[in-house]
Copies of this chain bind each other. A is one copy, B any other.
Amino acid sequence: MDQTAPQKGTVTQRAIEQIKAMIGEGRLEPGQRLPTERDLATQLGISRSSMREAIRALTVMGVLEARHGSGIYVTQLEAGDLLETFGVVADLSRGPRLVELLEVRRVLESTATALAAARITPDQLADVEKHLEAMNATDDPEEILSHDLAFHRTIALAAGNDTMAAILEGLSSRTFRARVWRGYQEEDAFARTRREHARIHRALVARDPEAARAAAAAHVGEVEEWLRAQLDE
């Protein structure tokens, strides 16, 4: 009966798919500006409210970006944009799933660290050292955590796989780390963490991928094991 709409699913869902398809087919380039919400709604034959929901959905996915007063734009579709929601998983996960997430992180982090050992540039290595020293120079947990994150982030970026780095970023999101950290530091974890970080750094300097992989795996595995023990009690 109708010329375009096969009428499957909700109107909003259809709009989401159509815009996604436009980008997939290359009709919308990264960075490009879309028509106004009102025009888009007219083109697809739906109301502005429904169109806004579709846009909101694509926005949280990191595909679109809405700038108040300016317009709607396609993001650069980089790994960081699209994998931002990954952090939500970590935030809402609890119990056994936290261990699973840590297991995934251990696998990826060890690989990324190994790659970094082979590819890291002097500049990046200097950055790593900067965060390492800053981390050892203070006792403020908040600051330590901040440099801890930057330490691993720099290494992940040095691995040369932005997608992997973006996933690791999500897995190490602030609240995630902070929550695990809270009870972890009760024991002698501070000193141990410093030793592990130093070990990772030495492997990077030595450009030894296998040592780097082992050090990173042990580092994450340490937390993982502790958390696993916590769950058993």
Contacts and interface: CB of A to CB of B under 8 A. Distances in A.
Q: Taking each of A20, A61, A104, which has the highest tally of chain B beta carbons within 10 Å of its own beta carbon?
A: A104
Contact of A167 (B60, B97, B104): B104
Interface string A10-27: 001000000010011000
A42 interface: no
A44 interface: no
22 contacts: A12-B56, A20-B91, A20-B92, A24-B92, A49-B49, A49-B52, A53-B53, A53-B56, A61-B85, A77-B93, A83-B86, A83-B89, A97-B162, A100-B161, A100-B163, A103-B163, A103-B164, A104-B161, A104-B163, A107-B107, A107-B111, A108-B108
B100 A162 contact: yes
A73 B162 CA distance: 35
A170 to B, nearest CB: 10
Given A12-B56, A49-B49, A56-B53, A23 B92 contact: yes
A97 B79 contact: yes
A99 to B, nearest CB: 9
Contact of A56 (B57, B88, B162): B57
A161 B12 CA distance: 34
Interface in A104-119: 104, 107-108, 111
A97 B52 contact: no
A63 interface: yes
Interface of A: 12, 20, 23-24, 49, 52-53, 56-57, 59-61, 63, 77-79, 82-83, 85-86, 88-89, 91-93, 97, 100-101, 103-104, 107-108, 111, 161-164, 167
A79 B107 CA distance: 17
A103 B61 CA distance: 22
Contacts of A88: 20, 61, 63, 82
Given A57-B60, A108-B108, A111-B107, A77 B92 contact: yes
A108 B105 CA distance: 10
Contacts of A86: 83, 86
A60 B82 CA distance: 13
